[in-house]
C-alpha cells in the first residue's frame, strides 16, 4: 500500500486519496462487500466503486494480485 500511495502521489500530487483496494490472493477488498452485487461480472466491485467516485489512477502489482484505486 505504501508503494502504491507513493506512486499515486508522484502521478497525481500530494492530495491523493485511496478509494478502494483489492487483494486477489486473500480475496479481500475495501470497502468491504462492494463485490457482492458483482457476482459473475467481469468488473470487480472495488474497481466499479472507485470508478463511480471519480478515480483517476489505478496501481496494480503482481499481475493484478493487488490493485489500488486513487482519487
Q: What are phi and psi of 64, to 5 degrees?
A: 90, 5
Fold of 2-70: Dna Ligase; domain 1 (3.30.1490)
Each of the 71 residues of the chain gets a pLDDT tens digit; together they read: 999 999 999 999 989 999 999 998 998 888 877 776 666 666 777 888 898 899 999 999 988 899 999 99
Q: What's residue 4's pLDDT?
A: 94
In degrees to the nearest 10, what's the CA dihedral of 32, 43, 40, 20? -10
Distances from the Cα of 14 to the Cα of 5, 8, 11, angstroms: 10, 8, 9
Is the pTM of the predicted complex or chain greater than 0.75? Answer: yes
Quick one: pLDDT at residue 70? 96
Q: What is the DSSP letter of 40?
A: T
Boundaries of every domain in the chain: 2-70
Amino acid at each position: 500500500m505504501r508503494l502504491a500511495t507513493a506512486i499515486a502521489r508522484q502521478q497525481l500530487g500530494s492530495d491523493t486519496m485511496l478509494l478502494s483496494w483489492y487483494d486477489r490472493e486473500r480475496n479481500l477488498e475495501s470497502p468491504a462487500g462492494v463485490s457482492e452485487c458483482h457476482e459473475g461480472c467481469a468488473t470487480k466491485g472495488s474497481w466499479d466503486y472507485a470508478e463511480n467516485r471519480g478515480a483517476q489512477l489505478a496501481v496494480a502489482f503482481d499481475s493484478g494480485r493487488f490493485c489500488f484505486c486513487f482519487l
